[in-house]
Structure 1
Amino acid sequence: MSFAALGSLLAAIAMQLVGGFVNRKIPFLSRYNIPDPITGGLIFAVLASAALEFFDFTITFDQSIKPLLLLMFFAGVGLCADLRLLKRGGKALPIFLALLLPFILLQNATGVAMAWLLDLHPIFGLVAGSIALTGGHGTAAAYTDGFAQINNLQMVVELGMMLATVGLVVGGIVGGPVAQFLIKRHGLRSAAEEAVDTHVFHEAPAPISTHSALAALAGVIAAVLGGQRLAGLFSDSPITVPEFLWCMILGIAIRNLLPLARIRFDDRPAEIISNVSLSLFLVMTMMTLDLLDVARSAGPFMLIVLVQIAVVVAYAVLVCFRFMGRDYEASVTTAAFLGFSMGTTATAMANMQAVSAKHGPAPTSFLIVPLAGAFFVDIINAFVLTMMLSLPFVGG
């Protein structure tokens, strides 16, 4: 059975909605912030794999829209990045960002070293490093799609999705217990008396207007077109910048140049466009997974993930907690670091909410982590990956 472009899009939307329904009904999935498109896509992939295995029945989709959806996601991320908010993070934000670069280098070095020990291509080590773990499903999809086409690596897309999903769950599991360990070991307490001061009441935001939605859509399309153009112009340069990163950079530029021209920009429709684009991209990717082939080749990668978990926890406790101040806020930030170094910003926020609900508010952590996770970590990650892929023994 084959679906044309419009039918494929409808099927993807349907499975996205199914994934959301299942996540709300199963506490485990909602507790660890498993994305709706991952759940829905995996449900379809399981059913499709069973149909192929037992009934020799195949389902194919037109996926020509996927590359555009991915570029729209990253362009939307850039359009939501207001650089003026950086001033509110104080010293904690630059310190936290400074910790990310050596960690991502360490995460990738660990992955490449493990790939070498297991006699795998070094690129698989990067996929089991910051591409799938720190980067998450969006970054994994962006890079692995190129690896499959350019480097002819089999099953790399499916493995990237699998590793990102495993990392998402692991990041949600280890964050809270590690923070609890730090709080108990160092006798940390929150500044409970500041809780009242941090409760600020805001008026309900105005509804999203047609004008603001069209302005956001225009910004996304402009960033995508410009990003594609720049990627083509610099395709022959010694260091290749991925097309999706150009789109995100242009989105950041558009978002932060508009206020200089006294043009107001509503982030909310850009965020919705970005989230919808990523959701549809992911669910279409997951729906076409060959789970049987993934299961046959996943063994070595689970060993790499176990080693990565040990590295992440050690870095979080020995480096992140120490340099963030060794106080209660640092323990909450450490829980967040574990969340998005293995999963996503949503996982990081869930970890912080779990810790603060039990021990008290951590306003600085709740400010700097979304700022770092919104786009800075993607830029640092892309920079490190670009450098490592330019090494002959990795990208050759």
Structure 2
Amino acid sequence: MTLELNQVTTIFLAIAVFVIGSYLNSKIKILDKYCIPAPVVGGLLLAFILTTLRGFDVVNVTLDTSLQSLFMLVFFTTVGLGASFGLIKIGGRLLVIYWLACGFLALVQSAIGISLASLLNLDPLIGVMMGAVSMEGGHGAATAFGTTIEAMGVEGALSIGLAAATAGLVAGGLLGGPIVKYLINKNNLKSDEELELADSKSTSSFSHVAAPITSRVFMMQLFVLGFCMAVGSYLGEWFTGVTDFALPNYVSAMFVAVIVRNVLDKFNDSIIEMKTIGIIGDITLSIFLSMALMSIKLWEIADLALPLFLIIFVQVAFIALFGTFVLFRLLGKNYDAAVMVGGFTGHGLGATPNAMASMDAITSRYGHSQKAYLVVPIVGAFLIDVFAMPIILTTINMFS
């Protein structure tokens, strides 16, 4: 029997998943101790239940997750509205370092996948699917390149890529928080965000007294968000059509939001009310990630052979060690660096929203990091493709 849930029921389940995850975090010490995001806890629990029901032929539940992209679009637009040109200048060097590190990661992930696949007598193209394609590329790249590789005669490439992307998404959600917590405790790190904002003229909108959150204030923020999303969506489509370089609408909307934020600040820095924007961002991120995690098809991971699990394990181990002992030092060994390592772990193994959720779980306890919230989504959602795509295409052509 198949049970198809509509949009409304799916959104309700996503909210319920977040509430349940929050409750479990408050009751289970190990979850709270290692800062596991509530959507990850609740989402994986529901995914396991749905997989069990399917496995015992009780019921096959399908979810209508068509609104995931909308929640993601809203969230990244709120990230853009929280940025300023002054803060971009502050994070400029860090952005370049982080970007280069992501490029290096794509190269190493491809090398690990191909070399271990060859060692285990698997087709090297299977290794390509278990490398940067499914790790940094996530489900989107796994779907696109999996179809291409299957057309080359490699059976199961798409399923293997999706399973690897799912495993990476889960690992990224589970590892990000604990790694950052370890770095914070070991190095006794604290957020100095308030001092930096006070010293920067470009962040004056953070210093004024926040207006009460009324319906009028809320609607004004929705108006600005809607404008940025609409313009950004059309801009992304136009850019893709002109250059043949895919620009996701949430990335273009985020860039439009950055521009809008800074233009408005020149005239009236009280138009953007960041407390309201922050609440909207928290809600949309939680719902999106809950929907993504609870709809994961865990049976795709269960179908993987032992050699494929081994490759995933090595990928996860490498990014954890590289982030903890190398990238953290390159980024400055401070609180911002630790939070960015959490983001690096999240999108390096699965998806940028995963990275944002890991950072949110940390910053909600230890303090905000504007640098991390600026650098990670810009690089993880868009700039990484500048390195990753040529590497992926080159390795596919090498072994085709």
TM-score, normalised by the number of residues in structure 2: 0.74
Is the CA contact 1:123–1:395 (under 8 Å) kept in the aligned structure 2? no
Is the partner of 1:293 in helix, strand or coil? helix
Q: Amino acid of the residue matched to residue 384 of structure 1? A: I
Is the CA contact 1:158–1:289 (under 8 Å) kept in the aligned structure 2? no
Q: 1:213 aligns with which of 210, 218, 229?
A: 218
Is the CA contact 1:33–1:346 (under 8 Å) kept in the aligned structure 2? no
For 2:314, the equivalent position in structure 1 comes to 303
For 1:278, the equivalent position in structure 2 comes to 285
For 1:393, the equivalent position in structure 2 comes to 394
Is the partner of 1:63 in helix, strand or coil? coil
Distance 1:342 1:70, change over 3 A: same
Distance 1:116 1:305, change over 3 A: same
Deviation at 1:245, TM superposition (A): 1.0
Q: Provide the rounded CA distance (Å) in 2 between the counterparts of 1:42 and 1:190.
A: 31
Is the CA contact 2:103–2:384 (under 8 Å) kept in the aligned structure 1? yes
For residues 223-372 of structure 1, the aligned pairs below 5 Å read 223-236=228-241, 237-262=243-268, 264-297=271-304, 299=309, 300-316=311-327, 319-320=330-331, 324=332, 330=333, 332=335, 334-343=337-346, 344=355, 347=358, 370-372=369-371
Distance 1:97 1:203, change over 3 A: closer
Q: Provide the rounded CA distance (Å) in 1 between the counterparts of 2:264 and 2:300.
A: 48
Structure 1: 4+ residue segments shifted above 6 A: 349-354
Q: Provide the rounded CA distance (Å) in 1 between the counterparts of 2:293 and 2:189.
A: 41
For residues 1-396 of structure 1, the aligned pairs below 5 Å read 1-85=3-87, 93-117=91-115, 118=117, 119=124, 120=126, 122=128, 124-126=130-132, 129-130=135-136, 140=138, 144-145=139-140, 147-148=142-143, 151-152=146-147, 153-154=158-159, 156=161, 159-175=164-180, 177=182, 205-236=210-241, 237-262=243-268, 264-297=271-304, 299=309, 300-316=311-327, 319-320=330-331, 324=332, 330=333, 332=335, 334-343=337-346, 344=355, 347=358, 370-381=369-380, 382-390=382-390, 392-393=393-394
Q: Deviations over 1:91-115 (max 9, x none)?
A: xx44433421221111111112112
Matched-pair identity in %: 19
Q: Deviations over 1:196-246 (max 9, x none)?
A: x99x9x998543122221122122222222222122212231433222211
Deviation at 1:46, TM superposition (A): 0.9
Is the CA contact 1:128–1:301 (under 8 Å) kept in the aligned structure 2? no
Is the partner of 2:59 in helix, strand or coil? coil
Q: Deviations over 1:133-177 (max 9, x none)?
A: xxxxxxx5xxx2464267533365564354234234334434455
For 1:360, the equivalent position in structure 2 comes to none
TM-score, normalised by the number of residues in structure 1: 0.75
Distance 1:352 1:4, change over 3 A: closer
Cα RMSD of the aligned pairs, angstroms, is 3.5
Unmatched 5+ stretches in structure 1? 132-139, 184-188, 325-329, 357-365
Q: Amino acid of the residue matched to residue 240 of structure 2? A: S
Unmatched 5+ stretches in structure 2? 118-123, 148-157, 199-206, 347-354
Deviation at 1:334, TM superposition (A): 5.0
Is the CA contact 1:108–1:130 (under 8 Å) kept in the aligned structure 2? yes
Deviation at 1:377, TM superposition (A): 2.2
Is the partner of 2:213 in helix, strand or coil? coil
